[in-house]
Amino acid sequence: MTVDGEPPNVSSQERPPREHGANHALAGLLALAAAGLAVFGVAYLLTRHMPDPLLQVEPGLESLGASLEKVTLTVWTPLPTADQVDALASRAVQNLGLLPDPASPAALAPGAGSERRAFRLPDEGGTVTLTLHRVSPAALSVVMELPAPASRWWEWRSRLVRAIGDDDAEAVRAYTVLQFSGEGRWLWSSRRSVAASVLHSLDARLVEGADDDSLYSLTAYTPRLRQRLLVAGRPVNTAVALHWDATRGRTVLWLGSPVINIEY
């Protein structure tokens, strides 16, 4: 194989020092990516029977220096009449056992648009945010934001589905988005191998992807996740996106199911 245009028979000793440095940096980056892939594989074996397949991704990302920042849970439910909004909101807060946050009004009344209210988690402390959106005259979405460490977020998702759907949980569509971030740009430089490792750990096959200067995103399908959406006639239920945040000096990674339904 040629390197920087050199013929194949040029030895490494004859290459200039600068090229040695570049090759060492590339080798280090590839070794780091390979180590990350190995960790994803070990995590896959150790966490295959966890309550949610998305949990298998966390150990691999943490080994690469990425930490979980936030979990966003969204449920969408049919809303036959507008006067059900306040009753549904009150029922959700009560069923979730959330406590009013002194810094935010206790009432949660979205009216015709959207309302955002903060509540305290009864067992963990910290603040959880609920946002109600009128998606359409006949639909309502409730967004629950859990701050890190967001332990047992999959249980909060189940509770939120039950709280909103009541006895008709089948009518509720649930979305999960995990937001990770890692310091520096190296995670962004390895974005393709990182994203591929995430999909591999979920037994997901690629459906489509996009790559530009600041955003890399993939959508995929895995039989291990029950919920799915049809996009251009093809089933999807897994999405990965990486973004280089120059302001923070960090690479942000979102993992969503069935899609990433938040702005990024």
Percent of the chain at pLDDT > 70 equals 62
Q: What pLDDT score does 237 carry? A: 96
pLDDT at 153 over 70: yes
User: Is a pLDDT exceeding 60 seen at residue 93?
Assistant: yes
Arithmetic mean of pLDDT, 237-241: 96
- Rg of the chain (C-alpha set): 22
pLDDT average, residue stretch 142-163: 80
Mean pLDDT of the residues in the chain? 74
Confidence of residue 103 (pLDDT cuts 50, 70, 90): low
**pLDDT tens digits for 18-50?**
444 445 544 454 455 555 445 444 444 444 556
Residue 2 has pLDDT above 70, yes or no: no
